Amino acid sequence: MEAKKFIDEKSDILANYLDFFLMKKLSYSQLNHFLWDILREWDNLDIYDETIESCKEQVFWFLLFELKNWSSQQIFSNRILRQKLHTGALFLQGQGVKPYNCIGIRPITEYLD
pLDDT above 70: percentage of residues in the chain: 95
Task: Say how far apart CA 68 and CA 91 lie, in whole Å.
Answer: 19
pLDDT value for 68: 94
Q: Report the distance separating Cα 37 and Cα 103, nearest Å.
A: 22
Cα atoms in the 13 Å half-sphere on the side-chain side of 64? 26
22: how many CB neighbours lie within 10 A of its CB? Answer: 17
d(CA 8, CA 3): 9
What pLDDT digit, counting tens, does each position of 37-69 carry?
A: 999 999 998 888 888 889 999 999 999 999 999
Cα dist from 89 to 14, 43, 55, whole Å: 8, 23, 13
Q: What is the pLDDT of residue 47?
A: 82
